[in-house]
Amino acid sequence: MDGKKIYTVNRMEAQPSVKLVNRLMDLGKKLGLRIWELDRDSILERARRKTGLTYLGNEKYIEVLDRLIDNARKAEITPLGMYAINFLALKTTINRLHIEEYIRRHPEVEKIPIESPVFVVGFPRTGTTLLQNVLSLGPGYRALFLWERNTVPPA
C-alpha cells in the first residue's frame, strides 16, 4: 500500500467528539439506559403513542422492520449508529402510520392511474434530485412526496 488510509464502515476514524459520545453511550448502557437499543415493540409503541394512530397496513412493513433490526444487531455498529438507526426506524414508522391513515380517509387515491412513471436513480451528490425537480416542472407531472416513496405495496 502507498500509505493511504482505507476507510470502511467498520474502520472509519471517528472524530474525537463522536468517540466521546460513543463512550458515554457505552457507559449509559452499563448503567441500564436503553435509548439506542433496537426493539420492534418499543418502536411501534412509541410511533403509535406519538401519532395516536394504530394501523400500519399489511404485515410486510413489520417483516421489513424486523429485517432491519436483525441486520443492525448483527453488524458492528457503534451506539451512536444504533441510535441513528433507531431514530430512522421510528420516523419511518410514524410516516407509515400517517400514510395508512391518509389512504383510509381518501381511498380514491389508490385508484388514480399512474400511466408512465419515470424513475430517477443514481449515486448521492450526482444531480439526481436536480433532475427529478426539473422533470417535475412539466405540466401534468410531479415528483413523489417523500412520504409517498416510503410505502410498501399491498400484498
Q: What is the pLDDT of residues 76-135, one digit of tens each?
A: 788 888 888 999 999 999 999 998 999 999 999 889 888 888 888 999 889 998 998 899
Q: How confident is the model at residue 154 (pLDDT cuts 50, 70, 90)?
A: very low
Q: What is the pLDDT of residues 4-57, one digit of tens each?
A: 655 444 545 667 787 888 788 888 888 888 766 789 999 999 999 999 999 998
Please list, in sequence order, all residues whose beta carbon lies within 8 angstroms of the beta carbon of residue 37, skipping any fewer than 6 positions away.
Answer: 82, 86
For the cut 70, the answer to whether the pLDDT of residue 150 exceeds it is no
For the cut 70, the answer to whether the pLDDT of residue 155 exceeds it is no
What dihedral angle (degrees, nearest 10) is formed by the CA atoms of 140, 143, 147, 153?
A: 80
- At 4 the pLDDT is 63
- At 152 the pLDDT is 47
Please list, in sequence order, all residues whose beta carbon lies within 8 angstroms of the beta carbon of residue 109, skipping any fewer than 6 positions away.
Answer: 102, 103
